[in-house]
Structure 1
Amino acid sequence: MGKKKQAKANVKRLPKTKCCVSKKRCDRCPLRMLKEGTLPEGYTVKKRELVRVDGKKVTKKKLAKAA
C-alpha cells in the first residue's frame, strides 16, 4: 500500500486544456500552473485556455510527452 502512494507522489500532473473558473483553483488549473511555473515547456494560457507557444493545436498525447 505504501508503494502506490509513493508512485502517485512522483507523477507529474498534466494541466487541463481549459480552466473551469472555480474560485479556489483546482490542482490542474492551467492558470495556477502558469503562475507557479509548473506548466510544461512550450505551453501558455490565453483566455483561460491552454495553448502552445508555436501556435499548433494542443492534444493530450503531445501534452503528456511534454510533461
Structure 2
Amino acid sequence: MGRKTKPKSRCCVSAVRCENCPLRMLEEGTLPRGYTVRHHKLVKVSRSRRARSAQSARAA
C-alpha cells in the first residue's frame, strides 16, 4: 500500500507539500525503511542507530 515514488533528496520548503516531499512522507509514515529527514534533507539511518532503536523498542 506504500507509495511507488521515491522521495526527493531535499525538501523545497513550500507551503503546499508535493507528493514525494520527504517531510510529508515522514509525517505519513511512507518513507522507505532506513531513511529519515534531518534539516529538510533525506538521510540514511546508520545500522548502529537502527539496532539501538530496535533494542529500545523490544525493551519497552
> Given the two structures, how large is their TM-score scaled by the length of structure 1?
0.63
Equivalent in 47, 51, 65 of residue 43 of structure 2:
51
Segments of 5+ residues of structure 2 without an aligned counterpart are 48-60
Q: Does 1:42 align with 2:34?
A: yes
Identity of aligned residues (%): 60
Q: CA deviation at 1:47?
A: 0.1
Aligned length: 45
Given residue 33 of structure 2, which amino acid in structure 1 is its aligned partner? Answer: E
Q: How well do the aligned residues superpose, as a CA RMSD in angstroms?
A: 1.5
Match of 1:32 in 2: 24
Match of 1:16 in 2: 8
Find the aligned partners of 2:25 and 2:5 in 1 and give their Cα distance: 10
